[in-house]
Structure 1
Amino acid sequence: MATELADNVRKYRRRAGMSQEELAYAAGVSPGTVRKVEQGGTVRMETLHALARALGVTTATLLAPDAPEPVGRAEDPNRVNLIQLRAALTPPVGLTDLDGETAEEEPNVRRFRRTVHDGAVLYHSDSYRSVASQLPALLRDANSAVTYYDSGDEYRQAMLARAEAFQLAGRYLTQVRQYDLAYTALAGAITDARSAGDTLTAASGVIGMCWLLLRQGRLDEAELLASQTADAIEPRLSRATPDECAAWGWLALRAAAAAGRNNRPEEARHYHRVASTAASAVGREHTGSFFRHWTTFGPLTVGMKGVEDAMVVGDARTVVRRSGEDAMSPKVWKSTGRPSDENWNRHRLDVARAHARTGDLSAAMDELTGIRRASPEWLRHQRMAAETMQEILKKRKRTLTAEMRDMAGHLGVVG
């Protein structure tokens, strides 16, 4: 991608009649960053968003396929760590069907779904090792249950149980950045839920798929998938359930995130208005089923996602200002309901990044420390946390504090 990206940035810069220095000024980056990109160097996605905005093109326009870079000499540890999960998700295919695992006695689908639910609780508590160790057996049991039945309500319930297991696997694998495996799991979740006739669980799988596409930088596809699915499930608000409104609202938020990152601000604002409408219908933060939308949804969540989008476009001062408002404070949770831990941590991570950008390193460290205290394992898997810590280390003029050294070690950041 580096060669094509360099050519595209250079081409659109020249088409705009800009020098490298002028593009750097318009994008709010250093001239060295523009030179680095045009020489084939790697940059953060956030930098590409800024360059695309300055050039008046979508981020996706700057990204084009290219031959992959040679693999490094070091072995990817997850190739071995995830071998059992990989085997469960991607079994070998040959000219004849391999003997699969078939349940010897009738499966207890209800008990199995409780087990998957327990796995989701572990995921939401950031117990990723426990989730990873349980997933291969869960998926094998799910396949056995589907194989045992061939029709009727039992078959439908088995399909829905497997959809939930697939969704758990897909969410976990996206979180740990194993994107190809995550795609396989989420595609299976959506397919099974559709086959079982459960539209909301299928839509939840789409929400997870859009998150995966966003992480891969597939912004056009993420927006299109989210918006088309939102249109397909748009509820009649006068009689819609909170789960229906939440699924519709989360799809709008995914579309807004994709559009905002893709330099389509008008479309992003439109999707946020849709999400706000859904949140107003819900009234307050709604949790619902783990497998319907996996998190809370309501006015507070929509507000936090608006702050996140402001950080995406580099408006750090707006992030700091809005995060200090009472509407974004835990003081309002009694009336608004409590957001999910993951969404709240992500919001605080945006605030930490904004403080680092505006030079308030102490406030940035306070936010990172608070997140680590609440969710240490989650924080370790957030690339933004490492990038924020690198920015703090770069801007720190005096000797690092013990807290800074300890946080850098936790995030694997070298100064």
Structure 2
Amino acid sequence: MQWSSYTTGERIKILRGNDIHQTHLAEMTSLALATIQAAEQDKRLSLSTLMKIADALGVDTSVILGQQAPRRMMYLPDRTMLRNLSQAVHDTAAGMLPEAIEVEDEAGLRGAIDRCWASYWQGQYTEAGSLVVPLLPQAAANLRGQAAGEQGEAWGLLADAYRIAAYVANLMGARDLAYAAIGHAQLAAERSDDELQPALVNSGRAWVYLRDARLGDALKLAEKAAVEIEPRFSRATPEQLTVYGSHINFAAVVASRMKNKELVKDYLSQSNATGARMGGEHRARGTLFGPVTADTQAVGIAVALGQTGKALDLIRGIPDASLNVLTKAARNRFAMDKALAQADAKLYDASLETLEAALINAPVWARHQALPGVIVQKVGRASTTRLRRVSALIGVRSGVDSGYAPTTTKTAL
């Protein structure tokens, strides 16, 4: 059923879900319970009431009115975080900082940035975004406190904060916010004294382009970012190799989406060489790279190119134990690529087994991924017990993805 087909009252009920009762919504909005009940029964809804309910539920008024559908699989904490994150990005860029802000020193800000990335790579995207909300004004306040000519590091910290905001927004489908945040990150990066910062931001913008289906633009930026930081291997630091390897790997991903096999081959060769040079996984600047990362990413690239046999061969060559060095999000993504390869090979039971294990292991991460629905579609309309279980986990009917379909156990938005 399409979102616009519900009544306004029904949309309010769906948005509050099973976790928020009418009495709770009345408390959240400072409205009378009778007012909430009247709104949900489509009896009475003033503009003032509409705005208070929308604010409490973390959505625009247009969502409640049915003019815009809510983002799939997004719960109230997700929606609230995105609204707060949007405010923090735009207010910080406009110089509107809280009056009583507590200014962190640069070491404290760097630690906060590391915590944001740790949450992000664990697949805790709502937590990561929530941590960025206070980080942005603190980084801007730190910048204000630096003397002219000594602001290079402070600009770099602000660029990092904006970049994390862009990553969270992009992953959660808030594309306009992602574009705004990565644009502010670029302006800050250009003023920093960090030679890696502009390339990191360019790679981030390329990812926004990729999610927005701007493949040509994504490839140009990914290539530019990789070229800008290509190290001389004989004297490259682990940090430089980590950043370069992740950039060249991403360029291979974009090239695979464009079905450019020759370019993919070239980039994967460079990625494998970088991973081999490193000898193990390294974490730096909000990313992780090494030989295991290169191998697992190659699986997703083979799947994107339709090389199912090659993808399965690569999977068999990756020991399960080696995956422990990856971030949780990277392990989950590998599981999705594995399940998709198995589905393409018509190994439906194996695909559903892989998918179900990943969904149970990382339900929060899975909420923000489109690939589980794609895999269910590929498996087909077979009415099997496991297919029904997997479909319930991702909030769709078995074998069907025909529009907005709220679950009965918990509202999936």
Do they fold alike, i.e. is TM over 0.5?
A: yes
Report the alpha carbon displacement of residue 235 of structure 1 after superposing the two structures with TM: 0.8
Q: Which of 193, 211, 217 does residue 221 from structure 1 map onto?
A: 217
- In structure 1, the partner of 2:107 is 110
Q: Which of 269, 279, 286 does residue 273 from structure 1 map onto?
A: 269
CA distance in 2: counterparts of 1:301 and 1:364, whole angstroms: 22
CA distance in 2: counterparts of 1:391 and 1:192, whole angstroms: 43
CA contact (8 A) 1:190 1:203 kept: no
- In structure 1, the partner of 2:391 is 408
Give the aligned residue type for 2:389. Answer: D
CA contact (8 A) 2:153 2:193 kept: no
CA distance in 1: counterparts of 2:169 and 2:97, whole angstroms: 24
CA distance in 2: counterparts of 1:106 and 1:163, whole angstroms: 17
Residues 207-260 of structure 1 show CA distances to partners (whole Å, capped at 9, x for unaligned) of 222222211111111111121222222111101011111222222122222222
| Aligned Cα root-mean-square deviation (Å) | 2.7
CA distance in 2: counterparts of 1:353 and 1:98, whole angstroms: 46
CA contact (8 A) 1:167 1:205 kept: yes
Instruction: Name stretches of at least 5 consecutive residues in structure 2 with no aligned partner.
Output: 1-64, 399-413
- Secondary structure of the residue that 1:90 maps to in structure 2? helix
CA distance in 1: counterparts of 2:196 and 2:345, whole angstroms: 41
Please state if 1:121 is matched with 2:108.
no
Please state if 1:256 is matched with 2:252.
yes
Give the aligned residue type for 1:271. Answer: Y
Please state if 1:339 is matched with 2:362.
no
Q: Which of 76, 88, 96 does residue 70 from structure 2 map onto?
A: 76
Report the alpha carbon displacement of residue 411 of structure 1 after superposing the two structures with TM: 0.8
Aligned pair count reads: 328
Residues 32-59 of structure 1 show CA distances to partners (whole Å, capped at 9, x for unaligned) of xxxxxxxxxxxxxxxxxxxxxxxxxxxx
- In structure 2, the partner of 1:177 is 173
More contact order relative to length (CA 8 Å, sep ≥ 6): 2
Give the aligned residue type for 2:229. Answer: I
CA contact (8 A) 1:103 1:148 kept: no
Structure 1 residues 148 and 253, CA gap change in structure 2 (3 angstroms): same
CA distance in 2: counterparts of 1:322 and 1:280, whole angstroms: 16
Report the alpha carbon displacement of residue 282 of structure 1 after superposing the two structures with TM: 1.2
Give the aligned residue type for 1:110. Answer: A
Q: Which of 229, 232, 243 does residue 228 from structure 2 map onto?
A: 232
CA contact (8 A) 1:230 1:251 kept: yes
- In structure 2, the partner of 1:309 is 301
CA distance in 2: counterparts of 1:273 and 1:388, whole angstroms: 29
CA distance in 1: counterparts of 2:279 and 2:146, whole angstroms: 41
Residues 97-141 of structure 1 show CA distances to partners (whole Å, capped at 9, x for unaligned) of 876446777642322332232222222222223233333222222
Structure 1 residues 103 and 199, CA gap change in structure 2 (3 angstroms): farther
Report the alpha carbon displacement of residue 408 of structure 1 after superposing the two structures with TM: 1.1
- In structure 1, the partner of 2:162 is 166
CA contact (8 A) 1:101 1:144 kept: no
Report the alpha carbon displacement of residue 388 of structure 1 after superposing the two structures with TM: 0.5
- In structure 1, the partner of 2:319 is 329
CA distance in 2: counterparts of 1:255 and 1:209, whole angstroms: 12
Please state if 1:298 is matched with 2:294.
no
CA distance in 2: counterparts of 1:355 and 1:100, whole angstroms: 51
- In structure 1, the partner of 2:340 is 353
Structure 1 residues 99 and 356, CA gap change in structure 2 (3 angstroms): closer
Give the aligned residue type for 2:327. Answer: S
Question: After superposition, where does 1:50-199 map in structure 2 within 5 Å?
Answer: 73-76=67-70, 81=80, 82-91=82-91, 100-101=97-98, 107-153=104-150, 155-199=151-195
Question: After superposition, where does 1:23-62 map in structure 2 within 5 Å?
Answer: none
TM-score by length of 1: 0.72
Residues 314-366 of structure 1 show CA distances to partners (whole Å, capped at 9, x for unaligned) of 222322232122xx122446xxx823322222122111012122222221122
Instruction: Name stretches of at least 5 consecutive residues in structure 1 with no aligned partner.
Output: 1-70
Task: Give the % identical residues.
Answer: 26
CA distance in 2: counterparts of 1:372 and 1:310, whole angstroms: 23
- In structure 2, the partner of 1:384 is 371
Structure 1 residues 75 and 383, CA gap change in structure 2 (3 angstroms): closer
TM-score by length of 2: 0.72
CA distance in 2: counterparts of 1:340 and 1:245, whole angstroms: 18
